Amino acid sequence: MLEIQSLSLRYPNGKLALSNFNVSVNPGELVIVLGGNGSGKTTLLRCIARILMPTSGEIRVNGIDLSQLNGERLRCARLQLAMISQHGSLVKRRSVLANVATGALGRCADWWTTLGGLPKHELEAARGCLSEVGLSHLAAQRAGTLSGGQAQRVAIARGLMQRPRVLLADEPVASLDPEASHDIMRLLRRLAAEENLAILCVLHQVELAYAYADRVVGIRDGGVAFDLPRAEVSKDAVRRLYLSEAA
Amino acid sequence: MSTADIRRVPLADDTWGHALTMALRAVGVVLVALVIVQSLIVVEARPQDLITGIHGMADIIRRATPPDFSKIDTALWPALETVDIAIFGTLAGVMMAVPLAVLAATNVTPSRALYYVARGIIGFARAVPDLVWALLFVTAVGLGPFPGGLALAVHSIGMLGRLFAETIEHMDMAPVDALALTGARRVQIFTHGIVPSILPSLLGISLYRLDENIRSSLVLGFVGAGGIGFQLLTAMNLFQYREVSLLLIVIFVIVLTVERGSAALRARLA
């Protein structure tokens, strides 16, 4: 479903952020990317979402190469790909339901939506997505009043509203307490299985990777250090990822 | 190097640094004093005239009291006109300032060229005082409240455009980026992401501008651009000081009411 082949990114200052990176995520699979600070984890996700333009390589989502697309074609292709970030990135002054419903904007081209309204049927669908993340009781609440864990769940619900095939999660449990972190990871695990989503998730918490990942990808200096099923990832291999950061 | 050595070296540098700082401060004080003195000379400030002129001021106050409340009915329409000039000027200013601010905000502007054009328009509208705009519009469209409203609108574009652009530049861009990733179009990102985030600030700034425009519209009448200012000027020219004092009371009530109302609304929005 998501196939990254020989992806490289060199910044204008000459720094190589990603080097010949290869990874694939199948439907229903939760792949967790581990790596030290500055190893290229977030850059990888930003490249896949085409926030950053890769220098070379392919980003295939459902067979379509995003790396070569621009403008309207890129916007349409992006509909298959949802991304959640560290802090949810919700519009704080809007209601939780409206925030979730904005996930459908990509497929709404009517005047009402253009002027800031949201179609009734999409609001109904948003209620369904909210209920899927267990927050339907907060629909009318303002997004700015949510806790970190709740905001992250709402962001996931907004991602689901897109009806994506691939979900990218950039440190979705950063700044959450352990219980909330496990809640979010359980939710991602369930969505991968039930919605048949391909999920690529960047994490710093090694124990969460061991607990929830189907596969773990280690990233070091912008390249793949290892790509193994969870059970085959040794603690030494993980330690080496972070040792290189300390050095 | 011993601890004593380490201390001695910076101490020597500090002495020179301290002396330099003191010298610069002294130069600064002298410069400020020179600026103040030259301004007193240029404006020909003569405090003694205030004392010798006290009889003239007392005479004006005596002739202005009591206010001529019998003319209150003639003051009401110009008062309403003054408020409406400010409302029209603010609304028109907001409508034109919002799109210009979007173009003039570095983080959302669609192109660098449009950014400079928008900044240029905003800067020009702000640089020309509203009274000068009023004179120009009186020449263009004739006497009355309409040129006053236009003058305030154009000047407001300058003030509001700059403040709106700064508000947009300081907003949290994470929700905007998140909406872009959902496949939303540019206009949808603006209406669903940017507008809800900055709307309270925009309303607060607009209310403050209305407050300012009310004050400005009071004097626009002096150049024939409608409102209570024109009536005030006429009464002064005809030495009708009791009517002048009545009009000043009406102005005071308008300003105070709008100021309090605007402050209360802004507090609710905060």
ipTM of the complex: 0.82
Q: Shortest CA distance to A59 belongs to which of A67, A51, A70, A68?
A: A67
The answer as to whether B205 is a domain residue is yes
For residue B231, the SS3 value is helix
- Between positions 25 and 64 of A, the ones with CB within 8 A of B are 49, 51
- Looking at B13, B34, B62, which one is the last position of a domain? B62
- Yes or no, beta carbons of B182 and A85 under 8 Å apart: no
Per-residue pLDDT, B25: 94
Residues of B in contact with A90 (CB under 8 A): 175, 178
- Looking at B62, B83, B102, which one is the last position of a domain? B62
Q: Which residues pair with A34 in a beta bridge?
A: A218
Nearest to A75 among B183, B192, B197 (CB): B183
d(CA B134, CA B220): 7
Q: What's the rounded mean pLDDT across residues B26-36?
A: 96
Q: CB neighbours of B86 closer than 8 A, spacing ≥ 6?
A: B152, B210, B213, B214, B216, B217, B258
CATH of the domain spanning A1-80+164-247 = 3.40.50.300
Q: What's the rounded mean pLDDT across residues B176-202?
A: 89
Kindly identify which residue of chain B lies nearest to residue A82, measuring between CA atoms.
B182
**Is the model's pLDDT at B132 over the cut of 80?**
yes
Percent of the residues in chain B that have a pLDDT greater than 70, as a whole number = 95
Radius of gyration of chain A (CA): 18
The answer as to whether B67 is a domain residue is no
Residues B78, B141: contact at Cβ < 8 Å? no
Residues B82 and B24 in one domain: no
- Residue B216 tokens read as 């400005």
Residues B43 and B84 in one domain: no
Question: What is the distance in angstroms between the Cα of A72 and the nearest Cα belonging to chain B?
Answer: 9
**Is the model's pLDDT at B92 over the cut of 50?**
yes
The answer as to whether B86 is a domain residue is yes
Render pLDDT for B56-66 as a digit per residue (tens, 0 to 9): 888 888 888 88
SS3 per residue for chain A: CEEEEEEEEECCCCCEEEEEEEEEECCCCEEEEECCCCCCHHHHHHHHCCCCCCCEEEEEECCEEHHHCCHHHHHHHHCCEEEECCCCCCCCCCEHHHHHHHHHHHHCCCHHHHCCCCCHHHHHHHHHHHHHCCCHHHCCCEHHHCCHHHHHHHHHHHHHHCCCCEEEEECCCCCCCHHHHHHHHHHHHHHHHHCCCEEEEECCCHHHHHHHCCEEEEEECCEEEEEEEHHHCCHHHHHHHHHHHHC
Q: What's the rounded mean pLDDT across residues B120-124?
A: 94
d(CA A179, CA A152): 13
Q: What is the pTM of this model?
A: 0.74
The answer as to whether B108 is a domain residue is yes
Residue B7, amino acid: R
Domain count, chain B: 2
Residues B46 and B138 in one domain: no
Residues A57, A88: contact at Cβ < 8 Å? no
Residues B236 and B119 in one domain: yes
- Yes or no, beta carbons of A105 and B184 under 8 Å apart: yes
**Is the model's pLDDT at B19 over the cut of 80?**
yes
- Residue A200 tokens read as 């690529």
Residues B15 and B129 in one domain: no
d(CA B43, CA B67): 33
Residues B264 and B168 in one domain: yes
The whole-chain average pLDDT of chain B stands at: 88
Residues B54 and B89 in one domain: no
Q: Shortest CA distance to B212 belongs to which of B166, B143, B266?
A: B266
Q: Which residues pair with A60 in a beta bridge?
A: A3, A65
The answer as to whether B188 is a domain residue is yes
Residues B143 and B197 in one domain: yes
Kindly identify which residue of chain B lies nearest to residue A111, measuring between CA atoms.
B188
The answer as to whether B246 is a domain residue is yes
Question: What is the distance in angstroms between the Cα of A144 and the nearest Cα belonging to chain B?
Answer: 11
Is B215 at the interface with chain A, CB within 8 A? no
Residues of B in contact with A78 (CB under 8 A): 181-183
CATH number at residue B82: 1.10.3720.10
Residues B126 and B45 in one domain: no
**Is the model's pLDDT at B3 over the cut of 70?**
no
Residues B7 and B133 in one domain: no
Residues B48 and B171 in one domain: no
Q: Shortest CA distance to A209 belongs to which of A171, A247, A245, A242?
A: A171
- Looking at B28, B62, B96, which one is the last position of a domain? B62
- Yes or no, beta carbons of B197 and A105 under 8 Å apart: no
Per-residue pLDDT, B1: 45
Q: Where are the domains of chain A?
A: 1-80+164-247, 90-163
| Phi, psi values for residue A97, rounded to 5° | -60, -45
- Yes or no, beta carbons of B183 and A89 under 8 Å apart: no
Residues B261 and B159 in one domain: yes
Q: Can you give the pLDDT of all 247 residues of chain A as single tens digits?
A: 899 999 999 988 888 899 999 999 999 999 999 998 888 888 999 999 988 899 999 999 988 898 888 888 888 888 889 998 887 789 998 999 999 999 999 888 889 999 989 999 999 999 999 988 888 899 999 999 998 888 988 998 998 898 899 999 998 888 778 888 898 899 899 989 988 999 999 998 899 999 999 999 999 888 999 999 988 988 888 888 887 554 4
Q: Which domain holds residue B234?
A: 72-269
Residues A7, A21: contact at Cβ < 8 Å? yes
